[in-house]
Amino acid sequence: EFKGGLKSFIQYLNKNKKAIHKEPIYINGSKDDIEMELALEYNESYSENMYSFVNNINTKEGGTHLSGFKSALTRTLNDFMKRLKLGKKIQENLSGDDVREGLTAVISVKVPDPQFEGQTKAKLGNSEVKGIVESIVNEKLNLYFELHMEVIKKILEKSIMAAKARDAARRARELTR
């Protein structure tokens, strides 16, 4: 367990970085005996820091809970980009890398019967966890962003800049070749 909760853990992880929104986003939920909690915060850096846990075991290689979170985050941000009509500046949808630039996130799930891949318990393999995490994150993040439009706009601004940079780098590579 994290003393002070996931929000304070995120603040600790980001203590030397400048956050782009006031405080970490925290969501939680449960379905079919699987509990999930998630805290995330975007900062001005370009790196991504993700930490995942299953029953308080650090899953350094991620797994189905982390991939469920990543796909829900990407989908939610793309949906808001379309709804807020902010995507005119880029050709296509935001990629997973675009939406995770400058993101620090901690996801923790409680799973009654965890199936780990490998001896080190570094990766969760339960396929049902992906869908459960995905639906909780989709629902709760949507709700959060509806109530905090200024936060989603800042996050999308950063993600769109990342997409533009990726596109410019691709064009530069093509020109060089």
Average confidence (pLDDT) over 6-31: 95
Q: What is the bridge-based pairing of β-strands 103-110 and 49-54?
A: parallel
Q: CA separation (Å) from 127 to 20, 25, 60, 68, 131?
A: 34, 26, 18, 10, 8
Q: What percent of the chain has pLDDT over 70?
A: 98
Per-residue DSSP letter, 60: T
One-letter amino acid identity for 176?
Answer: T
| Residue corresponding to tokens 């941000």 | 77
Q: Are 75 and 98 in contact (CB under 8 A)?
A: no
Mean pLDDT computed over 68-75: 98
Count CB atoms within 10 A of the CB of residue 113: 7
Read off the pLDDT band of 3 (50, 70, 90).
Answer: low
pLDDT at residue 168 above 90?
yes
The pLDDT score that the predictor gives to residue 13 is 93
Q: Residue 2: its pLDDT value, please?
A: 62
Look at residue 137 and tell me whether its pLDDT is greater than 90.
yes
Q: Could you tell me if 54 and 114 are in contact, meaning their C-beta atoms sit under 8 angstroms apart?
A: yes
pLDDT tens sequence across 102-114? 999 999 999 999 9
Question: Is the pLDDT confidence value at 148 over 60?
Answer: yes
Global pTM value: 0.94
What are the angstrom distances between the C-alpha of 13 and each of 16, 18, 73, 106? 8, 11, 20, 10
Q: Among the residues of the chain, which ranges form H helices?
A: 5-13, 64-83, 96-100, 127-147, 149-176
Q: What are the b/e assignments for 63-92, b being 16+ CB within 10 Å?
A: bbbbbbbbbbbbbbbbebbeeeebbeebee
